[in-house]
Amino acid sequence: MSRTINLGYRTEQAHCADGAAGFEMAVVALYLSRADDLGTPLDRVMKLVGDTLTINWTAQAIAALRGGILADYGLDIADTLRGTRTRITLDNPELDFNGDGSLKTLGGDIRFFEHANSGGARETEFFVPASMSDFLLLATALGTLNAALWLEAFMDLVIPNQTVSYFYTGDDGAEAIGLGQGWNSAQGAGGDDVFFGPETGSGQLFGGLGRDAFSAEMWSAGAKIDLLGGLAANVTLGANYELDGFEDAKGSGFRDRIIGDGAANGLFGRDGNDVLIGNGGDDTLAGGNGGDVLAGGAGGDSQAGGDGKDTLTGGDGDDTLDGQGGNDLLQGGKGHDSLLGGGGRDTLEGGTGNDSLDGGGGKDLLLGDEGDDRLTGGAKEDVFLFIPKAEQGDDTITDFNRSEGDRIRFIQNALQFSDLTITPTGDGGSRISYPDGAGGQNVITVDGVVVQQGDFEFFGN
């Protein structure tokens, strides 16, 4: 049969080492001969009712623990801690408990208890008596990782003929949860939770209610995180997690492939040449450093390429694409899109819909394509590209600057300067009418500049 022990486990900074950067774990083993220093019989710390083990320290026991044996070892337990709950599940047809509520094993038993610190919250301890080398195991840690809770199997529990698995259930607050070696499953419950999975681990992770994220930022190689398929893995490292109920994902510092589902996802590549695919929903995609490929899919997506040579594709919906640093390719796709090249030599293609294109810094190429588009080259020498066709629409160039070397370029349909009809506008700008190749006319409005023949280029004649 399978029985579950619910420990009412409350903690905020129960960190682990486990190779996590920026962490220092302190583990102290106190032999059972010192147990009387607590000033309270050990059988008073737990009570078993059915399958639920409850822990109840008295104020006297807490004071004795802090001022007695812990002080001898210099263990700092003055952290400010927060509430969670932990289940430790043991599966065995012959599972049984001793009369005092401890788990009966062959050659020994296991007890679990915890104490409160001066902040009024709790920290976990493990008491392992009998043949498994009698000692009381305590753990605390200092570190800078942004995980507020790190779940750690503090020791290997060798229990003959029994299987021990660890399962964590969070509270309704926002938590950052790190899974140490030995933890098989975790559930975030309510709140916006972040799960940090070790690169050699495996298990089932349940986001629960709220907006939850899986993070591979501590992995030493690229991750494949598929929210649609429900997995996070790296075959080489040995990582293999089943994901359920996650909205966001954060990659490693290497080449990641991160795929969203039909909901509104947040996908973050960090360093490396990443591939981010939003699929359905209004997604937020951020490539980070490196040459990234971002594809929003259906929905109104927001994409940021970061540094490096990136490719951003909007897909369906009204998308916002920001190339940021590097020489980027931005393709709006369907919908009314907003494209910003950022620094570098960028290529911006609006696609269908009435789009807004801004090259930013650098020498950029802007193609509004179909629909009535608004084109801003930004600083330096920019090219405004037009392909005569019926779907081209009527576009506006907002910042044409002859002194910076800006050009208006036509390709295909054998256009020449003599095919253009240029008339001034009332605000000192120009209105350019040209054949669309299908018997009609398209119009380009150039704000604030009277264009000249030398401002045009013609290719494909």
Helix (H, G, I), strand (E, B), or coil: what is residue 260? coil
| Position 343 confidence tier, pLDDT thresholds 50, 70, 90 | very high
What pLDDT, on a 0 to 100 scale, did the predictor assign at position 174? 61
Token digits of residue 392: 């081209």
By DSSP bridging, strand 441-446 and strand 430-435 are: antiparallel
Among residues 135, 15, 156, the alpha carbon closest in space to that of 76 is found at: 15
Among residues 301, 302, 293, 281, the alpha carbon closest in space to that of 256 is found at: 293
High-pLDDT (> 70) share of the chain, %: 59
Higher pLDDT, residue 96 or 227: 227
Cα 139 to Cα 24, 26, 73, 77, 148: the distances in Å are 11, 6, 12, 9, 15
Alpha-carbon gap, residue 102 to 53, rounded angstroms: 9
Give yes or no for residue 125 having a pLDDT over 50. Answer: no
What pLDDT, on a 0 to 100 scale, did the predictor assign at position 131? 32
Give yes or no for residue 220 having a pLDDT over 60. Answer: yes
Q: Across the strands, what pairs with 250?
A: 215, 268
The answer to whether residues 344 and 362 touch, using CB atoms and an 8 Å cutoff, is: yes
Among residues 76, 203, 90, the alpha carbon closest in space to that of 151 is found at: 203
pLDDT in tens, 351-363: 999 999 999 999 9
| Position 34 confidence tier, pLDDT thresholds 50, 70, 90 | very low
The answer to whether residues 333 and 350 touch, using CB atoms and an 8 Å cutoff, is: no
Question: What DSSP designation does 10 have?
Answer: B
Residue with tokens 């309270």: 40
Q: What is the arithmetic mean of pLDDT over 157-175?
A: 46
Global pTM?
Answer: 0.68
| Position 102 confidence tier, pLDDT thresholds 50, 70, 90 | very low
| Position 232 confidence tier, pLDDT thresholds 50, 70, 90 | very high
Give yes or no for residue 428 having a pLDDT over 90. Answer: yes
Alpha-carbon gap, residue 110 to 106, rounded angstroms: 11
Alpha-carbon gap, residue 375 to 296, rounded angstroms: 22
Give yes or no for residue 273 having a pLDDT over 60. Answer: yes
Residue with tokens 């927060």: 82
Q: Which of 133-147, 192-206, 290-304 has the highest mean pLDDT?
A: 290-304
Give yes or no for residue 49 having a pLDDT over 50. Answer: no
pLDDT in tens, 294-324: 999 999 999 999 999 999 999 999 999 999 9
Of 82-91, 164-173, 257-266, 435-444, the least confident: 82-91
Helix (H, G, I), strand (E, B), or coil: what is residue 36? helix
Alpha-carbon gap, residue 386 to 437, rounded angstroms: 12
**Domain limits of the chain?**
381-461
